[in-house]
Amino acid sequence: MLRTIAEDRLLVPIGSAVLNFAGLIAVNEMGEFIWNELKEEMSLDRLLLRVCEEYEVEPDRAREDIIKFLDVLKSKNAILEESNR
């Protein structure tokens, strides 16, 4: 669950996720945007398109940043591993 505390955006585990989620994750504005987009299942390419529409960022840089962010989320068990990107 995404929570804003003061001016910090934090991903916080709730319910049974507490058992698998390894701590809190602080996210920036783009991380919050990506997290909210992930509420609906979508491909990496679709997510990349959405990020590029929302922010002035080069697609190659956005793809690299999205993959890094998703890898962090996966390593903390905040999202499930996807079989292909």
Do 57 and 16 meet the contact criterion of CB atoms below 8 Å apart?
Answer: no
Strand partners, 4: 9
Task: Report helix, strand or coil for 70.
Answer: helix
Question: Which pLDDT score, from 0 to 100, does residue 16 have?
Answer: 60
DSSP assignment of 1-68: -EEEETTEEEE---TTHHHH--S-EEE-HHHHHHHHHTTS---HHHHHHHHHHHS---HHHHHHHHHH
pLDDT digits (tens, 9 = 90+) for 45-61: 999 999 999 999 999 99
What is the residue type of 82? E
The whole-model pTM stands at 0.77
Per-residue pLDDT tens listing for the chain (85 residues): 777 778 888 877 666 655 666 677 888 999 999 999 998 999 999 999 999 999 999 999 999 999 999 998 888 778 876 544 4
